[in-house]
Structure 1
Amino acid sequence: MTKYDELFARVKKMAKSVDDVLFKLIPEREPRKLYDAARHYPLAGGKRVRPFVVLRAAEAVGGDPSKALYPAAAVELIHNYSLVHDDIMDMDELRRGRPTVHKVWGINMAILAGDLLFSKAFEAVARAEISPEKKARILEVLVQTSNELCEGQALDIEFETREEVTVDEYLQMISGKTGALFDGSATIGAIVGTDNEEYIQALSKWGRNVGIAFQIWDDVLDLIADEEKLGKPVGSDIRKGKKTLIVSHFFQNASEEDKAQFMRVFGKYAGDAKDDALIHEDVKGEVAKAIELLRKYGSIDYAAEYAKNLVREANDALKILPESEARRDLELLAEFLVEREF
């Protein structure tokens, strides 16, 4: 058993405790369609990585992780609400191998289900067995996290209509879209577990860096991973015209001739998700040429190293905390996110 196998055995064990709380908050009740829609993604599984961060952060600063269960569920509810609404905006048909909420229950009910998940997150904080002062601070973090999620998503939508996005603009967008919720998870756990501001800020920095690195590594994998492990055709982001750190670096460094060649492929074969494999087969050679252009300017290596540096900085921030299994689990999780192959 590898160190990561042991880590995810602990993740799975803690996920069960989080799920017990999660489904108390979103039970089977009337209106049945609304609650069935709201329960759809949580029932589909997922590793519950963000709730794990909440629980381990609380323990890493010397707190009682059982007191962090409701705040951990709150984070998972916010995450799932954002997925429901993202899928509507992207008109995606599958999530975690299941039809998306709006495909099953329609767009109107899906919007309501997302809204319900969002409101239930604040109910979860209200139910937590912690002081009113800590509840108030956690609510502030959840509000700020939700604001940043919306801002990041808005920038992502705006970027779809632009030919070029700078490295700084991309990092601002992804800091909101993926960095904020990891930051919020780690910060909330720390608030539950301690009043030590240095510890809380250290975990906030860890979460922000890890969340950004997680998305950047996803973008790298889209270009270098084994297709079977990845579960989708390599180069999907190029076909769909997705703005990434890799693409931003390329545009800031490439010749006009190479930019023009890249743009002949980038975003030109988005197609329909149902035809993903077919479209990929038709344009495989063109996408491969585009990937080679990214390699030519070191853009893929740049992004990979950027993600790994973020993780190194994240784990360095944790050195202020006492040695513990909880702290080591957070360090291991960060390392895994930039070493995984899928």
Structure 2
Amino acid sequence: MGKYDELFGRVKTMAKAVDEKIFELIPEREPKNLYDAARHYPLAGGKRVRPFVVLRATEAVGGDPEKALYPAAAVEFIHNYSLVHDDIMDMDELRRGRPTVHKVWGVNMAILAGDLLFSKAFEAIARAEVSPEKKARILEVLVKTSNELCEGQALDIEFETREEVTVDEYLKMISGKTGALFDGSATIGAIVGTEDEEYIKALSKWGRNVGIAFQIWDDVLDLIADEEKLGKPVGSDIRKGKKTLIVSHFFQHASEEDKAEFMKVFGKYAGDAKGDALIHDEKVKEEVAKAIELLKKYGSIDYAAQYAKNLVKEANEALKVLPESEARKDLELLAEFLVEREF
């Protein structure tokens, strides 16, 4: 991945500047449990991709990235608040290789920590060094983004109890769950840096497409990646019965016989505490491998991979209205990386 090395270097450098603002807003203070819980995920690292998008979007439209640091922190707070609450809903025990917030501090404190991170996002916007008019507009985008995140998550929960989800339904869900925050990040960055509506719209479209592509590629990797690189067993989405674009495409095209065969495995270990312990069981691996073969038979994995790549192509096409710059190039490279990565 040599062509991405310089990009990653800049992502790391900018992450440090954003982290200064993050930990200024969530310092070590009383009540200790609340602030320790709220700091848990930010301290675990993470690449700060969304804050990077905010800063680079500001620069890509000719603005000063220094003025975008608090808005970039706000976006990361929203992202982390959603992770804390998602982990509670999914009963996940690990995140970024660490025990989840609710696992360490209990569900009640985790809910409060998520709420604190959410409110800190608005405190960050209040501190932004932009005009009151821009501040109001950024707040509007942040509120819309948060609304869409909740709507996407609600649809995801609703889909768990349904046997089939159409391609359009899945795309609507993922547009809220992952598309909204990338869209919000790029849009907020553009608002900080410019008054030009054409530029703001172009970055909004870029963010939405890239956010959706990011999730679809994640779903593809779950089925085709190298387990060592992925850091989790291949096919875990199948065992958990996770509705994805791949599964939606399969259900639209498969024969009744193949659907029935697939359903013998799909969701077999959803909500099963022993499910994770069984992942290395040879019989389970065999079952999952058969299910993946069925998805391949109907071209469902290739369909999703191509869909993600087309979204990125469209996203980068939208950026062509912006002047050429290193910042614009970084956004284009980031989008490409998100659908070429192996983990």
| 1:103-128: CA deviation from partner (whole Å, max 9, x where unpaired) | 11111110000000000000000000
Indicate if the aligned counterparts of 1:191 and 1:200 stay in contact, CA closer than 8 A.
yes
Shift of 1:276: 2.3
Distance 2:109 2:78 in 1: 17
Alpha-carbon RMSD: 1.1
Indicate if the aligned counterparts of 1:77 and 1:118 stay in contact, CA closer than 8 A.
yes
Moved more, 279-288 or 301-310: 279-288
| 1:47-88: CA deviation from partner (whole Å, max 9, x where unpaired) | 000000000000000000000000000000000000000000
| 1:171-197: CA deviation from partner (whole Å, max 9, x where unpaired) | 000000000000000000000000000
Indicate if the aligned counterparts of 1:269 and 1:279 stay in contact, CA closer than 8 A.
no
Shift of 1:320: 0.3
Distance 2:305 2:299 in 1: 10
Distance 1:115 1:279 in 2: 34
Indicate if the aligned counterparts of 2:217 and 2:305 stay in contact, CA closer than 8 A.
yes
| 1:132-189: CA deviation from partner (whole Å, max 9, x where unpaired) | 0000000000000000000000000000000000000000000000000000000000
Instruction: Tell me the secondary structure at the aligned position of residue 273 of structure 1.
Output: coil
Distance 2:301 2:37 in 1: 39
Distance 1:271 1:147 in 2: 27
Distance 1:127 1:297 in 2: 52
Gap change, CA 1:44 and 1:274, over 3 Å in 2 = farther
State TM-score, norm by structure 2: 0.98
Indicate if the aligned counterparts of 2:233 and 2:279 stay in contact, CA closer than 8 A.
no
Gap change, CA 1:58 and 1:274, over 3 Å in 2 = farther
Distance 1:62 1:257 in 2: 57
Gap change, CA 1:338 and 1:134, over 3 Å in 2 = same
Indicate if the aligned counterparts of 1:148 and 1:180 stay in contact, CA closer than 8 A.
yes
Shift of 1:279: 3.0
Instruction: Tell me the secondary structure at the aligned position of residue 275 of structure 1.
Output: coil
Distance 1:327 1:133 in 2: 25
Distance 2:335 2:306 in 1: 14
Instruction: Tell me the secondary structure at the aligned position of residue 212 of structure 1.
Output: helix
Shift of 1:2: 1.5
Q: Mark the runs of 5 or more structure 1 residues left unpaired by the alignment.
A: none
Q: Mark the runs of 5 or more structure 2 residues left unpaired by the alignment.
A: none
| 1:5-33: CA deviation from partner (whole Å, max 9, x where unpaired) | 11011000000000000000001111111
Match of 1:239 in 2: 239
Match of 1:168 in 2: 168
Indicate if the aligned counterparts of 2:11 and 2:49 stay in contact, CA closer than 8 A.
yes
Moved more, 188-197 or 268-277: 268-277
State TM-score, norm by structure 1: 0.98
Runs of at least 4 residues off by over 6 Å: none
Indicate if the aligned counterparts of 1:233 and 1:277 stay in contact, CA closer than 8 A.
no
Shift of 1:278: 3.2
Distance 1:286 1:272 in 2: 16
Indicate if the aligned counterparts of 1:233 and 1:276 stay in contact, CA closer than 8 A.
no
| 1:207-248: CA deviation from partner (whole Å, max 9, x where unpaired) | 000000000000000000001101111111001100000000
Shift of 1:258: 0.6
Shift of 1:274: 6.9
Instruction: Tell me the secondary structure at the aligned position of residue 252 of structure 1.
Output: helix
Distance 1:160 1:69 in 2: 37
Distance 1:29 1:92 in 2: 27
Distance 1:162 1:258 in 2: 18
Distance 1:282 1:189 in 2: 49
Shift of 1:270: 3.2
